[in-house]
Structure formats: C-alpha cells, structure tokens
Structure 1
Amino acid sequence: MSGADRVSGFVNGAACLACGSARVERFLALGGVPVFCNVLWSERAAAQAAPRGDLDLGICADCGHVYNLAFDPELVRYAEGYENSLHHSPRFQAYAEELALDLRRRHGLDGKHVVEIACGQGDFLKLVCAGAGSVGTGFDPSFRGGEPGANLAIRREYFGVSPLGRAPDLVCSRHALEHMDAPADFVHMMRDAVPAGSSPVYFCEVPNSLYSLRDGGVWDFIYEHVSYFNARSLAACFERAGLRVTRTWETFAGQFLCLEAIGESAPAALAPAQLATVPAGDDLLTMAAGLGDEVDRLLAHWRREFARIAQAGGRVAVWGSGSKGVTFLNLMGADGAIGVPVDINPAKHGLFLPGVGRQVVAPEALPGLDIALVLVMNPVYAQEIEGMVRGLGITAPVTGV
C-alpha cells in the first residue's frame, strides 16, 4: 500500500447505491487497506496481520455518489472493540453539543422519544435527550455496557433486529449510513421500523464526499465506508425510500453533511426544502479523475519532509489515530517510520494501529521524543492541538496534513 492507481471507464452491470443509475465510472484504486481503521490491537504482530481489503472507487455520473465497487460485507463485522468516539476533543464536543441543542429546539424534543442508530457509547444520544422528560433508545453492537443514563436505554444489537416499541419523535443516524452496503434499502428499513401512524423527523449525518473531492481530504477513503455522499446522492437515498427531504446542509468546516426528512404522510412542510449546493455531475467527475494525482502529490511531499526530519534525528507526531491517521501512515509505509501516532482518546493509548503496527501514545508521552513536527491529521483541530502541544513545552511546528 504505497500509492494510488488511476482507473477509468464505466463499469458494466454497476448500479449506483444512491440513485440506482447504471452510469458509474471508476476513478481510483487503493489496494490492501486495513478493513477497520477504528479497531486497534493490543499486540503489534496482530495489528500488522489485521484484515485488509481493496478500495476500487466509482462515481455516479448522475448524482455524484462515490462508493467502493470492491466492498465485501463479509469482511466487516462490528463488535465491542470498535472505537471511533471523538468526544474527547473539546472542539468536537462543542460541535456535538451545538448540534444536539439545535435539534432539540427546532423539533421540540423535550419530553419526546429519540432513537439513535449506531449510537456508540451514547455520547450524542445523551446530549439530544438532555431536556426535561426526554427518553432515548440507542442501538449499537459495539456498546460496551455500563449505565448510559437514567433516561436512556442502549441495545447491544443492530437496529431493526427487534421491534422498536414506543414510536419515536426523532430517528437519528450519525456516521452510520456510509457503512451500509445497501444504503437506500437501509433507509427504507428505518422507515418501515417506525410504528404505523407515527411521523418522526429523520436526521442523518455522514462524511461529506465534497470534502475529499473538492477540498482535498484524501485520507478519508477507508474500507469501512462503503459510500461517500454528497447532498444530492444522500437525498436520493431517502427519496427512494419514500421519505420527503426537507433540508440538507454542510457542517463541521465542510467535513460533514446533514439531512432531515419526514414521511410522505407527515403534514406538508411549512417552507420549501433547503438543499445544499452540489457541483454539476461533469464537475464532480473531473474532481474525481484528478484525485489519484493529488494522493501521489501529497505522499511525495510528506515523504520528502519525513526523510529530511529523519536525517536530522527528529520524529513526527502524527496527531489523530482514527481513519485519517491510519490511512496516512499505511500509505506512507516504511517512509513514515519516524511517525509517532498520538491521540487524546485514552481508550487508544498503548494499542497498535492496523497494518503499520505503530503504537499509539498519549500527548503527555511526546516530550523527550525529539518531536520536530506535529502533523495534524484533521486540520479542524489544529488550533486546539497547538494549545496542547505548547502546554507540553514542545516548540515544534504544528501543521495540518
């Protein structure tokens, strides 16, 4: 796994996972990537032997949806060891709190029932259900147990396995739909799981594919994510399931994409749908076609920088041991040997990254490691991380990847 292969041409027999179009064109291949970026290992050898799969990315010429043509659902089984919480970051926690408060206020959720699909450890569900009388039901097979809160119940199972029970007022899905190999079918199942006669609001948040195609966020292509949505393709999924999309918008510095929808039987929306702007299909195809060159350009740049720092006896703190950090270090390969994975999530400390087998350290371990550069895998956290680094007495430059 050392770089990108350019592939092109329409794919015979393909059908877009979002809109159903047969006009799907290949544009990028990355072979042998870790199946799970968010499952870390207690032993280096096990991490290096972690399961791998191939990315063969295609883009729909009609709706612009991007997805992995080579995805094999048999390789992906989510369990207790899955850890992707970002709530240890003050920047992300503030965003989550702001989003939860917005949902509570706009939809009058105090005293209501909220259902969250793929709720993790219940961090966001707890925020949405913070109002008086609110109750929440979460679904996630990776839930580690414990008491999520007196007004919350989290089932350690996939959504849809058992009856929902009380009708929900909000059905929330954050960073789950991109993991589904049949996203339109999953949205249809979400709709059908709601008891007859109820009319909840559906809220969905996913990574924004335009952040990768338009803004150069190339480290976000990972095996766990079958799909990469833009506002047009995300809306297509919900519309195919018989839901009426009322709003789509970008958030978190353009990295995330949000959608709200209601059932066709719900009262008519009070205002026209507010939909985020998406570039024309031809423009998206052009962006996709140039992505392989962008990956190679960035890798060449960072290989030169790492070599320069290594020659001077320094090391690079690679801050962020989630999807971006794992992808970056695996693509760098041996050229990234001086990279030290860092994360503020204590659940990751001492564990090893899949593929490269590097051990994750806490920020407090950095002093004394001859850190010559702090490379921030997600630039949205750069200011927060620079404050932490300076507080540790480290004077090395802090820069986004």
Structure 2
Amino acid sequence: MILFPEGKPTKRETFDEYRASGGYEALKRNPSPAAILEEVADSGLRGRGGAGYPVGKKWAIAAQTPVTPRYIVCNAGEDEPGSFKDRVLLEHRPHLVLEGMILAARAIPAEHAYLYLNETYHDCFQRFTDAVDEAQGAGLLHSLAVSIHGAPTVYVAGEDSAALEVLEGKPPLPRQKPPYPAAAGLFGKPTVVNNVETFANVPSILRSGAAWFRTHGTAESPGTMIFCLGDEMNHPGAYELPLGSSLRHLYEDVGGGLKEGKKLKAVLPGGPSCAFLPADRIDVPLDPASLQKAGSSLGCGVMRFYSTETCMVEETLRIAQFFARESCGQCPACRMETNMLSTILDRIHQGKGDTTLYHQFQKILDFNRGKGYCALINMPGPPITSAIRLFQDDFNHHLRHGTCPF
C-alpha cells in the first residue's frame, strides 16, 4: 500500500527506517515547484479530509496568487467522531507526513509550515517534534520553518478557516467564504490547508510518479484511503484500502463483521454528516462517485456499522444533538436549524407528535441551506432524512409508543 506497507499501522517507524525505505528521496531529487505541481495534479490526488477537492488545483491557486509570504497548514485537528487515522499516521510514520509538508512548501513556495494538532494528541506532538529535529539535523528543512500549534477539540475548530483563526490567536470560528484559504488564508496570505493523510500521499507520488499512483484505486478516484472501524466490529482499527474496494470486503474480510455475530442493519459510510445506507447496499464500491450514486458519501472514511438490534431513532437523535451542541453559534441560521432538528427528533423519540413531523425536517433544511459560514449547517440533513426514509418503522414505533422497538 501507499501509506502503510502492510495496509495497517504495525510499527512506529524511525528516521533511519524511513530513509532506508526511500524516504526523502523525492526531496533530495530537488524537484522544481512546477514539477511538483504537475506531478501532484497528474496523480489525481484529492483531499482526504472529506471534501475531496483536487490537491493539485488547490496548490496551484496558492502558487499563482501573487502575494507573499505563503503558508502550509497540515490539519490534524481530527475532530470527526470516530476518526483516528491522522493520529495513527503521525504516531507511526511522522516523517512521511513531514516530507509531504516540505514538498508542498517547495511547490507553492512557502517559508513556514504548521502542524495544527489536536491538543489531546500528546504522543503525536512528541513524535512530530522529534521528526522535525531529525530532519533539521540532516539538513532536509533548509530554510523552511516548521511549527506545531495545538487545535481545540470542538468540532468546528477542524474547519479549514477556523483552524487559521486559531493559528492567528483567535477563537475557532469559521470565516465567511470567499475568499478561500488558498488565495487569502493565514494572515490574509495564500495558504494550503490539507489533512494529514493528504500530505502523507505526496512523497510516494513524487518518488514513484503519478502513473504509479494511478495503478491504485479507480480511474476517477486514484490512490488509497484509510478507513476507521469502530469498537462494534470484531477487528476495529485503521485500514488502508484502494479506493473502489467493496464495502463488503471492508466489513466482512477486514473488519470481521459485527461482534457477537450480530446481523447488519445499516451503515454510516463517512462520518455523522453522511446519509445512512441499508444493509442491502453492502456491495457498493468505496469511492466518492459510487457512494454518491448510492445516495450517501465517502466523507473522511469513518465507518459505522449498526446491527439489527439498533434503534435508528436513537442513533439519529444522537447525531442531531451532536451538531446542535457543536454549532459555534456565530451563524443564527445554523444555531436555529440544528436546535430545531434536534428538538423535533426528541419529540418523535418521546412519542409526542404524529407522522406530519417527518415533513418538517426537509422544510427546515431547505430554508437554511447555504446560510452558514461553514458546512455544518448542511450536515444534519443527510443522516436525518435518510434514516426516516429507510427505517420509518423505527420512527413510527416511537411515535406510537415513545419507546424503542427493541
């Protein structure tokens, strides 16, 4: 695989081990900024943080914006519930991430790179600090300054512009866009913001070439992705698979199915902002286009699997309450929407109402769509509307009895 030789994290790689496996070879070839931008663009690499924006295009915007200085920000805030892939990458292969950041800095070019790190990731802080010191001692950083900055653990602090606000010493509040960070980011200067997994792909692309990278994954979605499996599975953990692998393969062969032999009822394939899929869609390929066609999205690869013993009203209510709690409050429409959605779901949960409540969700979502500074205002919609559509028996039972059907 591209990120983990064995397809999963198995050992904490040292500086010498990384260099022995080809680490920093791409950097030592001294590629020009134009060569880096071209290779990354040709590879088809897209951001692995959830939005899936073409990396080469983002970097080119920063490089072509005639303003200096420029900055690199590696977003390791990892605020998504159930996600831990950035953490395991930094713990096991910190030099892979660092080399990706150095190459990005050379591409745009930038003189300062930041690791925006979840403030609870103390081991990652030490591992990356040691990696920077080792790279500096080996003369690999040249004039590039690399800093680590703690990221608050609130959900919106992981949004790219909110991360920039924190780096500037301000509260973690998303900015109104445009302008986007690539053109006007940190301190108003061009800034590339990508997540850990995205940067970790870059050294292999520059070392082995875009054509080699495209031998993994699909034509539309080249490369691999790290998928996080939770404790409900027999084999929880972080696993790297080629994009386009089947959901069934991840669920049965890699994850070993649900614990205690429980039967599958539903899948949330990309985090709490994605639409639920029923168990009969288990053969869908794991790539953005296929998931979109199936009615959901790949997100950042956080996989949740629910057994037939799960009440989907309770699960959907938890998601709605999460977004209501994590809304930063600066956008009135978002604050109103997330609280209203949560309140209506709670009424259904308690059996206070009738099926006319189902129609209120879409009206609220349509009224508020696009009115927030960040994407959080759009996030509760897919899980709520899909749960009602797919598992209406659970919702009807709650309306009649005020209790779970199990």
TM-score interval, smaller chain: under 0.3
More strand by share: 1
TM-score, normalised with respect to structure 1: 0.27
More helix by share: 2
